[in-house]
Structure 1
Amino acid sequence: MSENRRRMDWQQPPKRELLGGDLLAQSLKQLGVDVCFGLHGGHLDAFLIGCSLVDIKIIDTRHETTAVQAAESYAKLSGKVGFCFVTANSGFGNALPGLATAYADRSPIFVVTSSPPLRDAETNCLQGFHDQVVLAKPVSKFAHRVTNVEEIPRIVSHAYRTAIGGIPGPVVVDFPIDILFHPPRMNAIECGSLTCSPAVAPYPDPAALDELIDIWKSAQRPVIIVGTGAARATSRDSKSSLLLDMAEATGTPVYYSQKYIPALPFGSPYRGGYAALLARLPFLQKKQPDFVLLLGARTGFLLGGRSGAIISNDSATKVVQVDLDAGEIGRSSAIDLGIVSDATNFIKALLEKVSVNNKNSIQPQNAWIQDLQSLKTMKSPHEDDAERCPDGRLHPFLMVKGIYESLPEGSIVIIDGGEIGVWAMELLERARPAGAMVATGYLGFLGNGWGYSIGAALACPDRLIVNVQGDGSAGFHIQELDTFARHGLNVLTVVANNYFWGMSVHGQDLIYEDEDPARVASTLSPNCRFDLVAQGFGCKGIIVQESVEEARAAIKKLTSSTTKGPGLLNAIISKTPVTMATRGMVGKTNDKDWIVVPYYDNVPRPYYKDDSAAR
């Protein structure tokens, strides 16, 4: 018997023998799991009963996709691995969209699934058609089918460390039903590294830090932009975090991408806000940053793509990227220095080198900090708009502004939807949130906000979770209102309802403005009463359509201490005006030399010698 096998004392069920499902549950408990999201299937009963024996809380959702999304959100906000379970084939098929998002967004989640008995392979048995391991491999870091009950703890340990180690990501382990219901040989159980601490995350190369400090010291206009990879470098306490320590030690303001909004003090000059604000500098006749530190933030469309709007394309701008993934450094934009490191360890190592009392001191650029403060106070062109738009409905900017300003400070905001997502992100600082996430991710996946809100509510039970939806995205998983109600989750859903797929119809209007204005697959029903749907699922529901002040009052009512629990605000708004972000993404131009490609960079029109005269 190996030393590893002697390390665990397995908890014997009081009235039956120990089964593979118990081994799985107890292995997860040993790894620190206290909550698991999922949807029941008979294949998983031995595991679910095992969870109850070791006090792992089960949060059952109404759809497998939202279970995976809940695990992902829980992982993002708790700093732990998120766990979920889905049943064989049909359940697993529904889980694939959540897996795809988690893989694209590098989220550490562990998906437990099951399959028919091993002996029934290739017999056209119930829920046995697709090979789930094969399907999972392209959208996971690790996918495996357990075929020996005694190996469950070892495989679980390996999968867990794969999910959280290095570049985080989802893992999938398939436990055939006969493995879960099979008793192990107690003297043959392999624990692997179940009781070992996770591996130490990588630290930066000291020589690279010296080079970075030299670049930083020479900068006149430095900024830090953080992404998901920096999440572990901050805490939910906005007054104390390593990220804040670094900002103060270097005198450098911190901006955030849509993927991760850190908890930094709102009154601090080093809380810059949404990175897209940097694109406004030229409109204020101000220069763009000449030094950008990308900390756990990937380049790409969430940071302006290759347009140079947020991160200047000027060769004089120095860009340093810190990431766990060497392949991510310089993927879509030129980088002057790449550093492979965990964000937390990077900050710790940097702070050891940077001090006001030595030659590595980085002095704050006060004039630059003042310029950036002017961005935060820059007045929106919509501030003085009429409350009602020409169609008689309420202005979306003013509605979101009023809602945000009525929320309890320190809420966590989850942003979903298309056009409403743009308004909600632009105005986010008005909510003064403790944290926030844009749920659509790199895949532009609408509907994720429902599952994200479930995970957030479990990760941060002391916070109000605000689930911002458009009327389009709301339709994907609105049945999760039942999950909110059954589990008493403190989630406020705001549906910004304009009866259209807003970004779609605006794109059509911009591109085909001279053609028939038929709404091609972009119209929604004005008869859908989201507030009544919420009431039907056991949540509070209110509709507002008369004034922004009515919306403010409704938010106060839905979030008052005497009416805690899930609620929904059905806010009727206008589909106009069009956000500047949508105009920019659609890229409409009258320049005949360019072909408009909506939501991507336009491409030059090809010309040939024989038609050059027509040009």
Structure 2
Amino acid sequence: MTEKIDGHGGELALAALRAHGVTEMFTLSGGHVFPLYDAAHKAGVRIVDVRHEQSAVFAAEAVAKLRRTPGLAVLTAGPGVTNGISGLTSAFFNAAPVVVLGGRAPAFRWGSGSLQEMDHLPLVAPVTKQAVTVFDSDEIVAAVQGAVTTALTAHRGPVFLDFPLEVIFGAGEGEVATPSVPVIEPDPEDVAKAAALIAGAARPVIIAGSDVYAGDAIEPLRAAAEALRVPVFTNGMGRGALPGGHPLAFAKARRVALGGADVVVVIGTPLDFRLGFGDFGDASVVHIVDAPGQRATHLTPAASPAGDLRLILTALAEHTGAREDHGDWIDSLRQAEDKARAKDAEAMAADSDPIRPARVYGELRKVLAEDAVTIGDGGDFVSYAGKYLEPTTPGSWLDPGPYGCLGTGMGYALGARVSYPDRQVCVLMGDGAAGFSLMDVESLVRHKLPVVIVVGNNGIWGLEKHPMQAMYGYDVAADLQPGLRYDDVVRALGGAGETVTSADDLGPALTRAFDASVPYLVNVITDPADAYPRSSNLA
């Protein structure tokens, strides 16, 4: 079914996007893209404008990841596009279906030196699934619809289109088709091989990542884990896939599990540095991915089904062959889990001066709602968040992912608050990360989007200072001004906040923050000597 549409270039592009459920546009004003604003204004599409283009793309990424629909960022030509490249790259590594529409200097005068004249495609092509320039107004609808379909097709990711000035301002027509996203069918033999390996294992373990949520495969994951009786660990947006208290849900015993497993099943996440590059000793690896291109190339898994994760996991749940009894294995992991939890509880309750990050998260756990969206933007402080916070609602955890780009916080907060007006949104931010995007608190204030921002303020680049000290016995370029009042910055921008120096004051401050109707920053002065205990090899 198709609908014929005519109008200027902005109306054509937006009609194609609205068919895919796009309801908001993140942008920073630029004359090259005025027709897109005109179309959004007339159609009632919400325009959320920011103070830096990176925040626009990060906000679109948050929408794409949280809602599993296209997130839209509109960037003006030249520096507008280049300022958004970190956001595009983050979306690329995080498999987020972000659509970035860019302005472009006029084609009819190309080479004459128009304002912000540059070819964006060589810059953005390496970090997008598709990057095209549309040179004809009549081709806009088809080009945008094709790009959105590409973005939504596994393995998902961002796309980029730009439009010369005369094309986006010019008139044209096109046909908007009913959206349809291809489903990748897995090879039944690959699935059967994986199922047999898992069922025959004595000590299997599952690690489920963000693509399980992105592929809407949470329920099939639970069904497969329960049918095969396999303990489950999660990372990224897979966190919360199994509800708290589920007998197969684990979070604290991963090292014990990976050290003792005979089959490790990694689902919907790459075998990268976060998982020791897939080196699990003598264990066989089953790598389940949403597209053939996601199969690991640096090792050869024992099985690697590729395709729609719902289909693969449903087939695993329906495995009819015999399986081993994993009761003793699960019990041993539960003992390790309980021991680790007791240790964490002690750390989260510890009274110290200065405050340690563990105590911050101990207090935060008391006030976070079950469906709160928690956003990590930082190094050590956010690593502690991953250790101590345990989301129980799938798709409620946002962090920079494997690209590790700082500055995502305010953009992610914008996208999260627009997506979920009635849920808590809490940004966990290191003081280093605060320097990248805190100005966009003004955007939150202006658009009436209250969020809570908790800054772990230790006055250093902790992720670099401590390792450099260990390697060289000294450090350089790793210190920040201690005790800075980031809450004063937020107040100056129209929000509110306070600085906390005593652990006993944390709980009341966090309660005030969540009760506020404006962006509220809790600036916690933390111990610079407290180093996150890293064990993974980043390279």
- Structure 2 length normalisation: TM-score? 0.93
* Cα offset, 1:262, TM superposition: 3.7
The alpha carbon displacement at 1:324 in A equals 2.7
Q: Which sits farther off after the overlay, 217-226 or 329-338?
A: 329-338
CA distance in 2: counterparts of 1:401 and 1:434, whole angstroms: 21
1:400 to 361, 369, 382: 361
C-alpha displacement at 1:374, in angstroms? 2.7
For 1:325 and 1:259, how far apart are their aligned partners in 2? Answer: 18
Residue in 2 that maps onto 1:159: 147
1:46-77 deviation line (CA, Å, top 9, x unaligned): 11110122221111121111111111111111
Relative to structure 1, the CA distance from residue 342 to residue 281 in structure 2 (aligned partners, 3 Å threshold; closer, same or farther) is closer
Which has the larger share of helix?
2
Per the alignment, residue 303 of structure 2 pairs with 337
Q: CA deviation at 1:226?
A: 1.2
Q: Is the 8 A contact 1:31 1:195 kept in 2?
A: no
Matched with 1:466 is 426
1:278 aligns with 2:266: no
> Is the partner of 1:223 in helix, strand or coil?
strand
Going from structure 1 to structure 2, the CA distance change for 1:385 and 1:77 (only over 3 Å counts) comes to closer
Distance across 1 between alignment mates of 2:95 and 2:371: 26
SS at match of 1:380: helix
Q: Which has the higher relative contact order, 1 or 2, with Cα contacts under 8 A spaced 6 or more apart? A: 2
The counterpart of 1:294, out of the listed 238, 244, 266, is 266
Measured after TM superposition, the shift of residue 524 of structure 1 is 0.6
Does the Cα contact within 8 Å between 2:372 and 2:425 map onto a contact in 1? yes
SS in 1 for 2:437: coil
Residue 528 of structure 1, CA deviation:
2.0
- For residue 367 of structure 1, the aligned residue among 328, 337, 341 is 328
Counterpart CA distance in 1 for 2:411 and 2:489 is 18
Q: CA deviation at 1:386?
A: 9.0
* Cα offset, 1:120, TM superposition: 1.7
Which of 473, 494, 514 is equivalent to 1:538? 494
Give the whole-Å Cα distance in 1 for the aligned partners of 2:21 and 2:524. 41
1:541-556 equivalence runs, <5 A: 541-547=497-503, 549-556=504-511
Q: Percent identity among equivalent residues?
A: 28
Indicate conservation of the 8 Å contact 2:238/2:394, yes or no: no
Alpha-carbon distance between aligned partners in 2 of 1:62 and 1:21, rounded to the nearest angstrom: 22
Tell me the residue number matched to 1:611: none
5 Å-filtered alignment, 1:35-434, equals 35-128=24-117, 130-184=118-172, 189-191=173-175, 194-234=176-216, 241-258=219-236, 260-273=238-251, 277-280=253-256, 288-305=260-277, 308=279, 312-314=280-282, 317-351=283-317, 353-354=318-319, 359-360=320-321, 362=323, 365-377=326-338, 378=340, 379-380=342-343, 383=346, 387=350, 392-429=353-390, 432=392
Partner secondary structure for residue 340 of structure 1? coil
Structure 1 pair 104–205 and aligned structure 2 pair: CA distance change class (3 A): same
| Counterpart contact for 2:243–2:393, Cα < 8 Å | no
Confirm or deny: 8 A CA contact 2:376 2:385 kept in the other structure.
yes
Gaps of 5+ in 1: 12-17, 588-598, 601-615
Post-superposition Cα deviations, 1:218-245, rounded to whole Å, max 9, x if no partner, equal 112222111222114558xxxx823222
Q: Give the letter for the 1:117 counterpart.
A: P
Stretch moving more, 319-328 or 380-389: 380-389
CA distance in 2 between partners of 1:556 and 1:154 (Å): 50
Contact 1:222 1:292 in 2 (8 A): yes
SS in 2 for 1:268: coil
Mapped contact 2:155–2:294 kept (Cα < 8 A): no
* CA-atom RMSD in angstroms: 2.3
Report Cα offsets for 1:69-117 as digits up to 9, x if no partner: 1111111111112111000001011011111221222221110001122
Rg: which structure is higher?
1
SS in 1 for 2:197: helix
1:604 paired residue number: none
Rate the CA distance shift 1:385–1:196 in 2: closer, same or farther, 3 A: closer
CA shift, 1:135, in A, is 1.8
**Do the aligned partners of 1:457 and 1:489 also contact (CA within 8 Å) in 2?**
yes
Contact 1:234 1:243 in 2 (8 A): no
Number of residue-to-residue matches in the alignment: 537
Shift of residue 529, structure 1, vs aligned partner: 0.6
CA contact (8 A) 2:237 2:395 kept: no
- How far apart in 2 are the matches of 1:333 and 1:551? 46
Q: Which amino acid aligns with 1:295?
A: I
